[in-house]
């Protein structure tokens, strides 16, 4: 009889149990790494979308509205144009987006209007750029992400702030 090299069933069970123990120990730590990255990705995506919206409003010479809805926990866009009474935006990059569950909105501020705590914040983007300056402060518990709409240069900037431990 020839010698066949193969794994026994017990050897496979031992290897699978070792892999499952290692996975059980590392997954909670992996979750603490993924959550802040998801908030950061959300903040970067929002910044990029708003910059795209600003450039689209300038290039297409239309008024776009950015609607940040605190009650529905989402943001979406509207456009002002003839024949489109509902204001639907026909752009694949400007779709409605829901907030992540673990996102905390610290503050919404717009001039004129001041701080917004409930309802909707509507920011118009015109063919001349951002109409009103705004500030959106998001947090994941450890870091804060501040989106600031600048009227002077018509750019949206993202600043990351790390909370200091007291």
Is residue 133 classed as helix, strand or coil in its secondary structure? coil
Measure Cα distances from 67 to 35, 113, 161 in Å. Answer: 25, 15, 25
Considering only CA atoms, which of 111, 41, 96, 45 is closest in space to residue 66?
Answer: 96
Taking the whole predicted model, whether its pTM rises above 0.85 is answered as no
**108: in domain:** yes
Provide the token pair at 116: 């917004």
- Domain span holding position 129: 11-162
Q: List the CATH number of the domain containing 25.
A: 3.55.40.10
pLDDT one digit per residue (tens) for the chain, 166 residues: 566 677 788 988 999 999 999 888 887 776 666 666 777 888 899 999 999 999 999 999 999 999 888 888 889 999 987 777 788 888 888 889 888 877 888 888 888 877 777 788 888 999 998 888 998 888 877 788 899 988 888 888 998 876 554 4
**6: in domain:** no
* Number of domains observed in the structure of the chain: 1
The CA distance from 90 to 18, in Å, is 52
**2: in domain:** no
């Amino acid at each position: 009889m020839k010698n066949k090299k193969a794994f026994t069933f017990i050897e496979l069970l031992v290897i699978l149990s070792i892999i499952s123990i290692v996975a059980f120990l590392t997954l909670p730590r992996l979750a603490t790494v993924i959550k802040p990255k998801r908030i950061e990705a959300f903040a970067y995506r929002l910044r990029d979308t708003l910059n795209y919206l600003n450039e689209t409003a300038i290039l297409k010479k239309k008024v776009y509205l950015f609607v940040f809805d605190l009650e529905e926990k989402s943001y979406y866009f509207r456009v002002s144009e003839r024949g489109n009474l509902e204001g639907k935006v026909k752009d694949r990059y400007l779709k409605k987006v829901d907030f992540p569950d673990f996102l905390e909105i610290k503050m919404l501020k717009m001039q004129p209007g001041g701080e917004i705590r409930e309802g909707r914040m509507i920011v118009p983007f015109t063919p001349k750029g951002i109409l009103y300056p705004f500030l959106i402060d998001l947090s994941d518990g450890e870091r804060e992400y501040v989106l600031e709409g600048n009227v002077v240069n018509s750019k949206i900037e993202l600043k990351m702030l790390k909370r200091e431990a007291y």
